[in-house]
Chain A
Amino acid sequence: MAWEILLAGFAGGLVRVLLAARKYHGWCEKAATLSASGIVGALAAAAFFFVTDIPTGMTAALLAAGLAGYVGADVVESLYKIRAARGGRLV
């Protein structure tokens, strides 16, 4: 179950970065950014289920993990963009 949750979180992170790539083409389409966002998504899913109960049923758990991965990647991307806009490094 743990691997499935991480994979679903990874997929959620990928969906988020692909949505971002639709808005801006360039560095965010690169494979490194894609995988980084996926990893953030997987970690977010793991963190979400660490602090909360895993919903009963495989489908519900995977959907929740995907959602947590998406939101985790979004929050990290937003914070990263705020940092970049305030003069921080992009990489």
Chain B
Amino acid sequence: MELLELLVLMGFGLLGGIVRTLLGWAKAYNEGYKLQRAWFGLLISTLSGALAAVLIAEDPKIAVIAGLGGADIVEALWKGLAKRAAGGSFATAAGVAPIWITERQMTALRRAKLKGRITIAEYQEFTGVSKRTAQRDIDALVKAGYLLCKGKGRGTYYAPVTSKKK
């Protein structure tokens, strides 16, 4: 393989990495955190794209999808390292959450912050869990100090705890 061909494949890998970085940026923007070290993801995309294309088939399309995959793996590793560095916690739109928080609880925190409140019925509606599970999930967030229980009876709702109050 000539150097020029290799550079072309690296370029296609970079293209895949740019696409995945844009997707990662959209995800980070919507989830309320900042995209970090995007350049590293792009570098790995370029290399993984070219490597996969050389190993599998010298096809630019393989380089593009390998570039996408490379950037994704870098993102996953980066998040894992960031979580470990934060002592088993990771950043969410609602602040720093402990490792035990599930995806649906994270979404509940984001919604509570976005709308200023969340109810058990709303939580049940968007997660599809039973009332009992919804109550247990929300209770865990209240117990950990991420949500405040307000109101009584049918009017009960949960408000996010701001970092100043915590």
Chain A residues proximal to chain B, CB less than 8 Å: 16, 19-20, 22-28, 48, 52-53, 55-56, 60, 63-64, 67-68, 70-71, 74-75, 78-79, 81-82, 84-91
Q: Does B110 contact A (CB under 8 A)?
A: yes
Question: Roughly how many angstroms separate A74 CA and B20 CA in the complex, as a whole number?
Answer: 9
Digitize B85-121: 1 where CB-to-A-CB distance is under 8 Å, 0 elsewhere: 0000000010000001011111100110010000000
Contacts of A52 in B (CB 8 A): 59, 61
Main secondary structure, interface of B, reads helix
Whether B104 pairs with A86 at a CB distance below 8 angstroms is no
Contacts of B103 in A (CB 8 A): 24, 26-28, 90
Main secondary structure, interface of A, reads helix
Chain B residue with Cβ nearest A75: B23
Q: Which of A16, A53, A82 counts the most chain B CB atoms within 10 A? A: A82
- Please list 12 pairs of residues, one from A and one from B, whose beta carbons are closer than 8 Å in the complex, sorted by A's number: A22-B76, A23-B76, A24-B103, A28-B103, A55-B62, A63-B52, A74-B69, A78-B26, A81-B27, A81-B31, A85-B27, A89-B125
Whether B57 pairs with A64 at a CB distance below 8 angstroms is yes
Interchain CB contact (< 8 A) of B56 among A53, A64, A82, A90: A64
Contacts of A64 in B (CB 8 A): 56-57, 62, 65
Contacts of B72 in A (CB 8 A): 16, 70-71, 74
Contacts of A23 in B (CB 8 A): 76, 79-80, 83
Whether B27 pairs with A78 at a CB distance below 8 angstroms is yes
The verdict on A70 contacting B57 (CB below 8 Å), with A75-B23, A81-B27 known, is no
Question: Roughly how many angstroms separate A2 CA and B100 CA in the complex, as a whole number?
Answer: 41
What's the least CB distance linking B111 to chain A, in Å?
7
Interchain CB contact (< 8 A) of A71 among B24, B31, B65, B76: B65
Question: Roughly how many angstroms separate A33 CA and B17 CA in the complex, as a whole number?
Answer: 26
Whether B52 pairs with A67 at a CB distance below 8 angstroms is yes
What's the least CB distance linking B122 to chain A, in Å?
10
Whether B30 pairs with A82 at a CB distance below 8 angstroms is yes
